[in-house]
Amino acid sequence: MIFKTLSGRFLLLTIIFVMLAEVFIFVPSVARFRLDYLQQRLELAQLASLALLATPDDMVAPELADELLANAEVLNIVLRRNEMRELILASPMMQEVSATYDLRDAGVFELIRDAMGTLFINEDRVIRVIGRPVKGAGIEIETALDIMPLRYAMLEYGRNIFFISLAISIFSSIMLFVAVRMLMVRPVRNLVHNMMDYQQDPEDQTRVIKPQSTVVELRAAEDTLLDLQTQLTANLKQKKRLAQLGEAVAKISHDLRNILTTTQLLTDRIEMSKDPVVARIAPKLVSSVDRAINLCEHTLTYGKAEESPPRPERFTLAELVDEIIDSENLHLEEQPVRIRCEFEDGFELVADREQMFRVLMNLMRNARQAMAAVQAGGEICVRANHTPSGVQIYVCDTGPGLPEAAKAKLFQPFQGGVRKGGTGLGLAIAAELLRGHGGSLELAETSSDGTCFRIYLPQKNEP
C-alpha cells in the first residue's frame, strides 16, 4: 500500500498540512468577505440616500425608491448627518430585526465569530447593519437587509475557496511527492538495494557500495556503509583463511600430540638414567615435551567449531578444587606452591561440572606457572561468595603480576600469552566457557604482589 512507503506517508502528511493551512486561511477569508459584502451594501445605501437628497424636495416616486433599495439590496436606509437620525428610504419588512451588527469598531475575533454564525443560519432573518459613511458624508449610516442572500454569497465564496485550495493542495502534494521520491526516497532505496545485494555474497568485493549521493546526510551514510562493508569483507576473507589454517593446524596438532605422548614415555625412562649429563638435560627435555603436549591440547580444544551447550548440575566447589589439585599434584611438587580455599565446605554451584573444571584448572595452572617462572613458591587462593543474582569466584596468586603489554590482549587466543612458550589459549577458552553459562571472566587486579581473576556465574534456583 502506498501509505506504508516513505513517499506515500510524506504525500499524506503534505495533503493534511496544506489543508490545515487552508482552513486557517479560509476562516479569516470568509470573515473578510462578509465584512466587504456588508460594507458594499452600506456604500450602495449611501449612494441611494445621496440620490434622494439631491432632489428639490427630498422626494422621489415610490417606484424609484423601490428601485434604489433593490439596487442596494437593503430594506431601509437611515442616515445620520448631524444629531438627527433620518429615515431616508424604507420598504415594508415582514419580520422584525433579529440581530444588529456594528461594523465601526468590530474586532477580528468578533468578525470571525459573526461570520461563522451567519454560515450556520438556515432560516430567513432580517439584520441591521451600522457603519460610517464614506467620504465624510455623515456621521452614521444604518440599513436593514435579509441575511439569506449574504449567507448564499458566503457559501459560494467558501465553495470557490475550497476548490481552489484543493487544487493547490493536490498540485503541491504531487510536486512534493515527486521531489521527495527523486531526491530522498530513491537514494535511500538504492542504499537498501545495495545492502540486500551485498547480503547475498559479502565476500564479493564488486558488491561493495560506491558512494554517489550529493546529499550530505546520505553521503555520510554511504561512506559509513562503505567502511563497514569493506571491513566486513576483509574480516570474512581473513576468517575463512584462518578457518582453513586452523583445520590444518588441528590435524597437525592431533598427530603431533600422539607423537609427543610416545616421546613423553621415553623421556620418563631417560630421567632414570644415572649418567650425569643425561640427568642434567633430562628435566629440560621433559619440560619441553610437556609444553609441546600442552600446546597441542589447547590448540585442539580451541579449534572446535563451538563448545557444547552447558549441562547444569549441582555440585560442591570444594570437591571440584580437590579434583583439580589432584590432577595437578605432580606439577605442584616441583615448587612450594600452597592452595588455600576461602569458602564454606558445602558451597554449591549449579553449572556444567566438566566445563567449570576446565575453567578453574586453566586459572590455577596459569597461577602456578606464573610463580614457577620466577623460581619462587607462593600461594593460590580460591575465594567464593554469593551475590543476589549468582556467585563470584576469585582465583588469586602471589606471583609477579601481569606485564602491561599482556593486559590489552589478555583474553585473545594466541595473543594473550604471558609465560614464555605459552599460547594464551587457556584464558580465551575459560572466558568462552563462562559466556556459554551467561557469566564472565575478568581481571580483578594485578600488581607486583600478585594477580586475581574474578569469575561471575549466574545461578538459578533449580539445578
Q: Quote the CA–CA distance of 276 and 184 in Å, as a whole number.
A: 85
Q: How many alpha carbons fall within 13 Å on the CB side of residue 25? A: 11
- Going by their DSSP bridges, the two strands 85-90 and 97-102 should be labelled as unpaired
What pLDDT shows up at residue 362?
A: 87
281 burial class (0-12, 13-18, 19+ CB within 10 angstroms)?
exposed
Q: What is the distance between the alpha carbons of residues 146 and 93, in angstroms, rounded to a whole number?
A: 10
pLDDT at residue number 70: 85
310-458, superfamily in CATH? Answer: Histidine kinase-like ATPase, C-terminal domain (3.30.565.10)
Q: Which of 160, 168, 167 is nearest to 29 (CA)?
A: 160
Give the CA-trace dihedral at 82, 88, 91, 93, to 10 degrees: 0
Q: How far apart are the first and last CA of the chain?
A: 52
pLDDT at residue 315, rounded to an integer: 93
What are the distances in angstroms from CA 411 to CA 21, 199, 423, 429, 442?
Answer: 63, 31, 11, 8, 9
Scored b (16 or more CB within 10 A) or e, 123-153 reads: eebbbbbbbbbeeeebeebbbbbbbeebbee
**pLDDT mean by block of 10 residues, the chain; 463 residues:** 67 77 81 91 84 68 79 85 78 84 87 88 88 79 90 90 80 79 78 85 82 81 87 81 67 63 66 68 67 63 63 92 72 66 90 90 86 78 92 92 78 58 69 90 90 91 48
**Whole-number Cα distances in Å, 455 to 322, 392, 434, 437:** 18, 6, 8, 11
- Rounded to 5°, angle at Cα 112 from 109 and 115: 150
DSSP 327-373: HTHHHHTTTTEEEEEES-TT-EEEE-HHHHHHHHHHHHHHHHHHHHH
What local confidence, expressed as pLDDT, does residue 248 receive?
A: 67
Q: Give residue 251's pLDDT.
A: 60
Nearest to 258 by CA among 301, 293, 302: 293
CB distance 151 to 121 below 8 Å: yes
How many Å separate Cα 282 from the centre of its chain? Answer: 64
| Predicted local confidence at residue 419, as pLDDT | 54
CB atoms closer than 10 angstroms to residue 99: 14
Please report the pLDDT score of residue 405 as a whole number.
Answer: 73
What pLDDT is attached to residue 371?
82
d(CA 383, CA 162) in angstroms, rounded, equals 82
* List of E strands, 36-139: 76-80, 85-90, 97-102, 126-131
pTM value is: 0.44
pLDDT of residue 318: 92
pLDDT given for residue 219 in this prediction: 83
C-alpha cell at 396: 588469586
Residue 267 confidence (pLDDT): 67
* Helix (H) or strand (E) run with residue 446 in it: strand 440-447
Burial class of 382 by CB neighbour count within 10 A (0 to 12, 13 to 18, 19+): buried
Question: So where are the chain's domains?
Answer: 2-173, 216-299, 310-458
Q: Give CA–CA dist 265/277, Å, rounded.
A: 19
Crossing angle between the packed helical segments 6-53 and 108-119, to the nearest 10 degrees:
100
Cell of 162: 475550497
Quick one: pLDDT at residue 203? 77
Report the pLDDT value the prediction gives residue 269, as an integer from 0 to 100: 66
pLDDT at 255: 63
CA distance 193 to 196: 5
422: nearest Cα among 461, 353, 369 = 369
- Residue 445, SS3? strand
From residue 102, how far is each of 44, 113, 394 by CA, in Å? 17, 13, 92
